[in-house]
Structure 1
Amino acid sequence: MSGYHLAEINIATLKAPIDAPETAEFVANLDRINALAESQPGFVWRLTGEGNDATDLQAFDNPLTILNMSVWTDTDSLAAFVYRTAHREVMRRRTEWFEKMELYTCQWWVPVGHQPTPEEGIAALETLRRLGPSPAAFTFKNPFPAPDVAVRPQPILDECA
């Protein structure tokens, strides 16, 4: 068992203010999707502000840029939630509510029990932007194992067999 959990941040810049009619369907889904996340195997923690979500936290100069952060036991648990639950359907509608962004999410490992701050998440995004995927910040496409997990080399297959 690892002494680390997987932290993730995702950010988005709204096309309209959070209380505008254009974002109403997104806002209407927040409680349902957050409750779904909390019920998933591997869920550990999620960032909240004054309400049941983090939309009121102002971590960026642009007031329309919002963030979400959570911690999971491992990559597979997060991936199962993101891609194999109702979250996927909401995520597919992203372009209805948010501006297109080149980089809007990343993951990194934190010690078990640590609740990352928005500043840590933003720093991880910047690390990913500057360096590309690395053990310090990565994506589902290029994951890295927890620092205390030994990676076993893949066997080399005999092409003549």
Structure 2
Amino acid sequence: MSLGGHHLAIYNFGIHTASYMTAVIQGFALREPLNFEAATRAVGFVGRSGYAGEPGPGSWGEQVFPRFLEAGQTGAVSSLSLWHDIESLMAFTYVGVHADALKHARHWNQKQAWPSLVLFWVSAGDLPSWSEAVRRFELLADRGPTPEAFSFKSAFDTRGATCPIDRERVKALAEQNIEGQADLLSVVRTLPV
């Protein structure tokens, strides 16, 4: 459930080692639509921002990137989505289709000196903009975890208190998710890295 009328936002950011449609990034490109579909089937998924000019959900404002993407640099990859709570997000992130992508990410993404993601709470019904997500991302990079911008390792609840993660609930949700994405997993296992 969402906590106190809130949803958990996640923004992640990285830079590919090559352009999106090159052979080097093919494994990522083939998995991306399967990851999006797995998310929509996951327990606790609320929604995600799309990308302007691409099929799928609408964009939550103009897509911008953190300062770590240098002028003229290409290959930025980011996503922005909402979840009911941290346990449902963890169950999706670390088990199943998305976990497979994480396992291979080192083949597609540059090693980074910044956080890979930021978590933050928004009022239920609100959609965080890309610029708000980037602001929170940079805040986490600059100051470390705070109730305004945090990570799985240092989570906060909606009141700003440290938030223990219910690992047993994560496991139970992950088992439910696996059942709902078995067909996707069978495809993912055949894909090149």
Classify the TM-score, shorter chain: 0.7 to 0.9
Superposed CA offset, 1:76-95 (max 9, x none): 00000001222111111111
What is the identity, as a one-letter code, of the residue corresponding to 1:59? V
Alignment of 1:5-84 (within 5 A): 5-49=7-51, 50-52=54-56, 59-60=64-65, 61=71, 62-84=73-95
Aligned partner of 1:113 in structure 2 is: 125
Sort the Cα spacing of 1:149 and 1:134 in 2 relative to 1 into closer, same or farther, 3 A.
closer
Deviation at 1:51, TM superposition (A): 2.8
Deviation at 1:58, TM superposition (A): 5.4
Equivalent pair of 1:10/1:67 in contact (CA under 8 Å): yes
Deviation at 1:59, TM superposition (A): 2.2
Farther off after superposition, 57-66 or 38-47: 57-66
Sort the Cα spacing of 1:58 and 1:51 in 2 relative to 1 into closer, same or farther, 3 A.
same
Sort the Cα spacing of 1:150 and 1:92 in 2 relative to 1 into closer, same or farther, 3 A.
closer
TM-score of the pair, normalised by structure 1: 0.85
d(CA) in 2 for partners of 1:63, 1:73? 33
Where do 5+ consecutive residues of structure 2 fail to align?
A: 66-70, 164-193
Kindly report the root-mean-square deviation, in angstroms, between the aligned alpha carbons of the 2 structures: 2.3
1:107 aligned counterpart, secondary structure: strand
The size of the alignment, in residue pairs, is: 150
Higher Rg of the two aligned structures: 1
What is the identity, as a one-letter code, of the residue corresponding to 1:119? S
Deviation at 1:147, TM superposition (A): 2.8
Aligned partner of 1:155 in structure 2 is: none
Structure with the largest fraction of helix: 2
TM-score of the pair, normalised by structure 2: 0.71
Sort the Cα spacing of 1:94 and 1:68 in 2 relative to 1 into closer, same or farther, 3 A.
same
1:99 equivalenced with 2:74 (yes/no):
no
d(CA) in 2 for partners of 1:14, 1:118? 19
d(CA) in 2 for partners of 1:116, 1:5? 10
1:33 aligned counterpart, secondary structure: helix
Farther off after superposition, 60-69 or 98-107: 60-69
